[in-house]
Amino acid sequence: MATLYTHAVAGLGIAQLYTPQRRTWLYWTLAAVLPVLPDCDVFSIAAYGTILGHRGFTHSLLFAFWLAFLAASLTFRALRANLWALTAVFFAALASHGILDALTKGGENIPFFWPAMATRYGNWGPIPVSDLGFEPPDPRRSRALRSELLWIWLPTTVWIVGMILYRLARRRRAPTATNDKS
C-alpha cells in the first residue's frame, strides 16, 4: 500500500479539479481524509486478502462512490457546492486510494469492481509497498517513501501549482465591473 500521507496528498491534488464557492477548511480536510479512509480495513479481524479484510471491499469503486455521496450529501450546503460535482471530486479522491495501492509492487490486488466482479487488479507500478511502523516515515531510510515522492508527490505538486497559477491568470484577465461601465 502507499503511505497514508501519499493518499492524502493525492486527495488534495484531486480537490484542485473543483473549487466550490466556499473553499473552507472542511473541503480541504475532506479532500485529504477521505482517500485515507479505505485503509480502515486494517482493523478488520477478517483475513488479509478476503473481501472483508485489508484491501477488500473498502478499496472498491462501489465503496468509493457510496462514501463520496455520503460525504457530499452531508456537506454540499455548507460548502455552497453542487452535490454531484462534489460527489465526483470526492469519488475521484476515494478511488485514487485503490489505484495507488494497485500501483504498488506487492501486496494483495484490489477488487475494483466488487460486488459485480470478484477479479482483483494490481501490482502494476513502480512503488514499493510502504514500510510498516508507527514513527513518521523518513525518506532517507524508506525506499517506498522516496518512490512515492518521485511518482506521486512531485507530479501532484506540479499539478497544484499549475492550477493555482491558471486560476490567478484567469482572474487577472477577467473584466472587472468598473471596466465594463466606462
pLDDT value for 67: 98
Contacts of 134 (CB under 8 A, 6+ apart): none
Contact between 39 and 8 under an 8 Å Cβ cutoff? The reply is no
- Give residue-wise pLDDT tens across range 2-57: 788 899 999 999 999 887 666 789 999 999 999 999 999 989 999 988 999 999 99
pLDDT value for 143: 76
Cα distance from N-terminal residue to C-terminal residue, the chain: 59
Q: Which three cell numbers stand for residue 116?
A: 459485480
Residue-wise DSSP of 25-49: HHHHHHHHHGGGGGGGGGG-SSPTT
pLDDT value for 179: 53
pLDDT reading at 182 higher than 60: no
Nearest to 63 by CA among 34, 25, 86, 106: 34
**How many CB atoms are located within 10 Å of the residue 182 CB?**
4
**Rounded distance between C-alpha atoms, residue 115 and residue 119, angstroms:** 10
- Give residue-wise pLDDT tens across range 112-162: 999 999 899 988 888 877 766 656 666 667 778 888 888 999 999 999 999
- Give residue-wise pLDDT tens across range 112-123: 999 999 899 988
**How many CB atoms are located within 10 Å of the residue 148 CB?**
28
pLDDT reading at 84 higher than 70: yes
Output the CA angle 101-102-103, nearest 5 degrees: 90
Contact between 41 and 58 under an 8 Å Cβ cutoff? The reply is yes
